[in-house]
Structure formats: structure tokens, C-alpha cells
Amino acid sequence: MNAEFEKLLKLNSDGLIPAIAQQHDSGEILMMAWMNKESIDETLKTGRVCYWSRSRQSLWRKGETSGNSQKLKNLRLDCDGDTILLLVDQEGAACHTGRRNCFFYEATDKGVDVISEPIMSKEEMYGKK
Amino acid sequence: MNAEFEKLLKLNSDGLIPAIAQQHDSGEILMMAWMNKESIDETLKTGRVCYWSRSRQSLWRKGETSGNSQKLKNLRLDCDGDTILLLVDQEGAACHTGRRNCFFYEATDKGVDVISEPIMSKEEMYGKK
């Protein structure tokens, strides 16, 4: 990571920063996940998005098991340096449920609706197990 | 907050959840901030976006000092219940720097560029102090 970027970047007490993934051409918000310094470096170097998995405590190369990888178009940082925006080209489904994006619950003060359906089955994403 | 939404919602150990604000028609990502239960309830009730300010430890009614408020169009929750997406209609500039959105640093492995300029002056946003 170059010094200018490192100076702007503000990681939280766990060394992490939230990263929003947006489909670069349609503007669809695909998902939100976390990155650490190592995953940011790898993403910038390889052009494939790599997150940090908080549950597995390891690097999470998006698509390494599902094939649904994210090709990086642009990486942006916000005014406070504490949120990343990834403009990506998403292969297949971004969500582990097989939906194109993760934001499929729409809430009002009256209730919650599911507003999209899977575009891929679990078998297609993770193989028959 | 209705019971169905409350069951899906996963707040962090501080009782907070990250919320992405996206301009509803253009798809532009404006900012990312944090909400707590009270600010979510207020947002759903009033139709004006209210965050939780971690620095001030108080409700932050977006636009209450700058006039740059956010009218709520839709509130969505992701698959894990731990990130909110707000589709909004943004008045003026979302960023405290006077820029339309907060993500104006573009980073590569070589350096960082500033890719947008303010659309409003500090005086226009916060009055002459």
C-alpha cells in the first residue's frame, strides 16, 4: 500500500474497515463486507476483490468456493477514511442465498417484505454436497 | 419497530448497525454512517433519515445543521441482518466537505486521486461563523 493511501486509511480497533461493493455499470449495491490491510493490498495487486472474513478470521477471496468472483474496477475511500467503496464487476450472484445482491429485505414500520428471489441454486454455487 | 424486523436485525456489541445511503434514482452512493434502534424507528416513522453519531453519542438528524436532509424512499436489510441500505432523496451535498458524496478518494497501488469537488461552500452549508 502506498504511503498516501495508508495515511488516509482509518481502520477500526480490530484493524478492519467496512467495504461496500457496487456493480460498476448498473449502480446496484451488491453487499457489504470487511477488509483489512492485507486484503486491500491483495485486491489492488490482483484486481480480484479479497475481503477479511470475521467469522473464519482469514482472507476471503470472493468467489473462491462459489465461482462468483468480483473483478475490481475502482477502489474509493470516503472523506473520513473509514469506509471503502468497491466498484466491481460481479460474476453471478453476490449473496450466499443465490440472490444477485444481499439487500432483499424491505422494511417499513408495518412489516418486512422479501423483494428478490435467487438467480442461482445452492448446488450451482457450491456444488452438490 | 415491528417484531418481524426486530427479529432479523443484528446490531453490533455497541447496539449499532452500518447504514449505506444511496440516491434512489441515480444509484450514487452518498455516504455510510451508523444507526441504532432508536434512529431506525425515527427514520421509519418520520421518513427523514436519522443516524446515530458515534462521536457525539447522540441522534443525528441528517441535515439538521446543514439543511442537507435525506428523505427516505426505502429501507432495506441484508441477508445477515447486519447492514442497512437506505434509498434516499438527498438535498444538496451529503458530505461535510460540501461534496455530493463522501467517496472522493480514488486509490490504486500507485497513489490516491481526489475525483470530485465541492458543490457547496462551508458557508452555504453551516452559515458564516
Q: For the segment B2-54, what is each residue's pLDDT rounded down to a tens digit?
A: 999 999 999 999 999 999 999 999 999 999 999 999 999 999 999 999 999 99
The whole-angstrom distance between B92's CA and the closest CA on chain A is 17
Residue predicted with more confidence, B39 or B124? B39
Q: Which of A9, A41, A85, A100 to mutate to test the interface with B (most CBs of B within 10 A)?
A: A85
Nearest 5°: the CA angle B65, B66, B69 is 100
Beta bridge partners of A116: none
Q: What are the cell numbers at B33?
A: 454512517
Closest CA in chain B for residue A28: B27
Does the pLDDT of residue B109 top 90, yes or no? no
User: What pLDDT was estimated at residue B57?
Assistant: 97
ipTM value: 0.96
Does the pLDDT of residue A74 top 90, yes or no? yes
Region A2-10 average pLDDT: 96
Interchain pair A115, B76: CB under 8 A: yes
Query: How would residue B59 be classed by pLDDT, with cut points 50, 70 and 90?
Result: very high
Of B26, B76, B103, which is closest to A78 when you measure between CB atoms?
B103
Query: How would residue A128 be classed by pLDDT, with cut points 50, 70 and 90?
Result: low
If phi > 0 it is left, if psi is from -120 to 50 it is alpha, else beta; for residue B22 that is beta
**Mean pLDDT, all residues of chain A:** 96
Q: Is A114 exposed, middle or buried (0-12, 13-18, 19+ CB in 10 A)?
A: exposed
Q: What are the cell numbers at A9?
A: 486509511
User: What pLDDT was estimated at residue B127?
Assistant: 79
Interchain pair A107, B5: CB under 8 A: yes
In the block, cell 458524496 appears at B101
Closest CA in chain B for residue A1: B109
**Mean pLDDT, all residues of chain B:** 96
Residue predicted with more confidence, A43 or A65? A43
Region A77-86 average pLDDT: 98
The whole-angstrom distance between A117's CA and the closest CA on chain B is 12
Nearest to B19, CA basis, from B98, B92, B74:
B74
- What are the DSSP calls for A38-99, one per residue? HHHHHHHHHSB-EEEETTTTEEEETTTTTS--EEEEEEEE-TTS--EEEEEEE-S-SSTTS-
User: What pLDDT was estimated at residue A126?
Assistant: 86
Region A68-95 average pLDDT: 98
Region B77-89 average pLDDT: 98
Nearest to B86, CA basis, from B41, B31, B38:
B31
Interchain pair B109, A44: CB under 8 A: yes
The whole-angstrom distance between A83's CA and the closest CA on chain B is 7
Nearest to B73, CA basis, from B57, B88, B85:
B88
